[in-house]
Structure 1
Amino acid sequence: MSHGSGQSKIALAQDLSFVLRNGGRMPTAKHIPMRQCIACRERRPKHELLRIVLTEAGPVLDPTGRKPGRGAYVCPDKPECWVEKKLRRFAGAKAQELSQALQTVLGRVESQAPQVGKPST
């Protein structure tokens, strides 16, 4: 009898106990919701994208992801995704307003972020 067999029996018993407690289901990987950027069409995890909601007043940034209304997502780390032409399919006539808002807000955040590879002053 090998020395490691006792530990493998314990692990097997723990796995069996887990399965019995969970209705016969083995543990599965947690589901990660994926969304697509409306500008570049890249699919990313939802938490990596910035949500924009269309309201009666126009497009509004929704950092919490909980505002009611039709929403769309853009990449917050790609300035090319904030261009009016690429936002038009979502925001229509308000695309220019949305583009300016994104460039103002996200440009400010981007300029305050520490630059990788550059010494901070």
Structure 2
Amino acid sequence: MADEVYVGNAGVDAPLERGWLLGHFMPPEAGVRHSADVEIKWGAHPPGDRREQWATGERRTALLVLISGRFRVELPDRTVLLDRQGDYVVWGPGVDHSWWAEQESIVLTVRWPSIPGYAVPLS
């Protein structure tokens, strides 16, 4: 049963995996946090933080929910401003995207399925 339950804190666990709490990239020994079905990220962003490059060739669906702050999601045909707690945006496969934090922001991202190949290389 120990492998079927994990209790943690997103603020503590997320920085250990570039914000990600579960997905295919978690090692199998991570138990229930290793998943090919879904990825979940707790994104803590300082003001002015932005994605280093656009995500292109996307094959997943994504949901991004604003927990706190003011956050912009850039899509090919528009920019979506999330500025009230609970504001969210969903986009499907084939939609390129980027983002930036206007203010210190916390966002929860859910992507599915969890497939390799989309990480921005570490600087």
TM over 0.5: no
Q: Which has the higher strand share?
A: 2
Compute the TM-score of the two structures, normalised by the length of structure 1: 0.28
Q: Bigger relative contact order, structure 1 or 2, given CA contacts below 8 A and separation 6+?
A: 2
CA radius of gyration, larger in: 1
TM-score normalised by length of structure 2: 0.28
Greater fraction helix: 1
